[in-house]
Homo-oligomer: A and B are copies of this chain.
């Protein structure tokens, strides 16, 4: 049973997002403070306040008391250098992902590219084929925007119903950065796109020659040739010295180590858009070119593999995003979807960026199922897991935006469940 002292806004302990005062949040120790601090006299001075510490450095690092790391999937000996690593969403706040923690997906590892020897070619159905050096591209006007990028395979184990896993292991293939680059439209204008060109085929300089095709309408809309990520040059694992960045679309199409853009009258039908990154359907047909990432949200804390130490007040927080616009709102349920309450949006709601949400929750020590549900600026509501499976079956490896359910046991153990 929940206590009566807070305004409840939905079942099983959800408290108004506007409720702040007097919550004694999570065991905040108020008892001894009156006498301890009344005259400042009882303040204990810790050892680290008594002697000077080390001075400035050239390139900083996190505190040794934090342990935020990407976790890599098991390597596959058939694909040297291939694989993924996932962002530790459960330990993060805000919406920006530090570059060192940005998720990775490589098809043949990370090429060690010297930018002085790298070229970007634009050819095919253009008036004038062009070749750009890294130094050339730096001279163009650029655009800086905060965008998420998500692998289309993210959340797959939620859809197929594998039990267990953490926010990181199930959903850690999404990150969010400030991306700075030259609008692709600028470069295409320089080359002069011929009227019959309908697709742009992008190829990377990795040993997989990763290739994807972008429809011309998107290519001239908001696509960037990205050179900087959160202020510094794009990291090697993100495509140094340059990558395509296709806002809101499945991550694989933002081709890393970009070296060629060829204008074609149809899609190139690259290996990575035929054998992969298509979605087999229950009737054995396949959906191809499923580009925009759907409306999705995720509670990052409490989340799978965490343990709640005792009954009491907790902060539920998480992330929401949509490839079709900005986040209009997020609802949270603590009773498996029976009742819902509006979450607080802690960050701005930028177009095609992550949005941070939270809501206070009083856990009464009983069973609970925590869920979140996002709605975007276009009115798209996040699908349930059941709706995703009904539409795509359980063999569709890609595009899994279904609602994540975290079960809280009476022991406080939090685990991923399929409901």
Contact = CB atoms under 8 A, between A and B. Distances in A.
A220 B398 CA distance: 46
Given A143-B346, A144-B346, A189-B20, A207 B49 contact: yes
Nearest to A107: B52
A324 interface: no
A72 interface: yes
A72 B55 contact: yes
Contacts of A68: 59, 232-233
Given A59-B69, A139-B25, A141-B344, A231 B84 contact: no
A288 interface: no
A261 to B, nearest CB: 11
A215 interface: no
Interface string A218-235: 000000000110111101
Contacts of A178: 94-96
Interface size class of A (residues with CB under 8 A): 35 or more
Contacts of A48: 111-114, 205, 207
A381 B139 CA distance: 28
B53 A72 contact: no
A385 interface: no
Interface centre among A106, A109, A110, A230 (most CB of B within 10 A): A230
Contacts of A275: none
How many copies of this chain are found per oligomer?
2
A65 interface: yes
Interface string A89-113: 0011111111111101010111111
Given A60-B99, A131-B37, A230-B94, A54 B260 contact: no
A190 to B, nearest CB: 6
Contact of A26 (B28, B136, B190): B136
A258 to B, nearest CB: 12
A130 B80 contact: no
A107 to B, nearest CB: 9
A61 B139 contact: no
A38 interface: yes
Given A46-B205, A128-B30, A233-B63, A93 B144 contact: yes
Nearest to A234: B63
A142 interface: yes
A1 interface: no
B123 A37 contact: yes
Nearest to A30: B130
Contacts of A59: 68-70, 100-101
A133 interface: yes
A62 B235 contact: yes
A163 interface: no
Given A129-B33, A233-B66, A72 B99 contact: no
Contacts of A40: 123, 262
Contacts of A100: 59-61
B360 A141 contact: yes
A198 interface: no
25 contacts: A30-B128, A30-B131, A33-B128, A38-B123, A38-B129, A40-B262, A46-B205, A49-B209, A55-B72, A55-B106, A56-B72, A56-B73, A57-B70, A57-B85, A59-B101, A60-B235, A60-B237, A63-B236, A94-B144, A95-B231, A96-B231, A98-B98, A139-B314, A141-B315, A142-B356
Given A58-B72, A60-B235, 20 more contacts: A22-B190, A29-B136, A32-B131, A36-B129, A37-B129, A46-B118, A48-B205, A48-B207, A56-B83, A56-B84, A57-B104, A60-B99, A63-B113, A92-B232, A93-B180, A94-B178, A96-B231, A139-B313, A141-B358, A230-B230
